[in-house]
Amino acid sequence: MRLESAKLLWDASEAAKAVRTFTEDVTRDQFFADLLLRSAVERQLEVLGEALVRLRRDDLETAGRIPDLRKIIGMRNVIAHEYGDIDYETVWVVVTKYIGPLIADLDRLLAEADSPTDPIKLGSP
């Protein structure tokens, strides 16, 4: 895995972890009532999606190993370009059901990048 790919995976993972942190112990009603919280979650989902857009552009093989990549990027596009049409029910489902497994997938890929047999660690191009 290329060094730039690992950096993008790290960015995506950190954004996903921020979403999880922001929404821990938050109820659906609290989420819907809190503009600041929704805005923070939106921003992190946008960062997450943008990192994966760049990963897909630069390293299609690694990006292809991320489940639901197309949907994640699609959500980023809605948040960035169709902000008036954000379906917060969908955002809530993503936050409560899909962020945890996504973090696990991203961290698994990052762990592979840290593997001692990885060309990045061995100094290979």
Question: b/e string for 53-69 if b means 16 or more Cβ within 10 A?
Answer: bbbbeebeebbeebeeb
Q: Is the pLDDT of residue 83 over 60?
A: yes
With H, G, I as helix, E, B as strand and everything else as coil, classify residue 64: coil
Residue of 21, 24, 109 lying closest to 69 (CA atoms): 109
| Structure token pair of residue 76 | 């980023």
pLDDT digits (tens, 9 = 90+) for 11-65: 999 999 999 999 999 999 999 999 999 999 999 999 999 999 999 999 999 999 9
Question: Kindly report the CA angle at 29 between 24 and 34, in degrees rounded to 5?
Answer: 75
Active site residues: 76, 81
Whether the model pTM is above 0.85: yes
Residue of 74, 115, 82 lying closest to 98 (CA atoms): 74
Domain ranges across the chain: 3-114
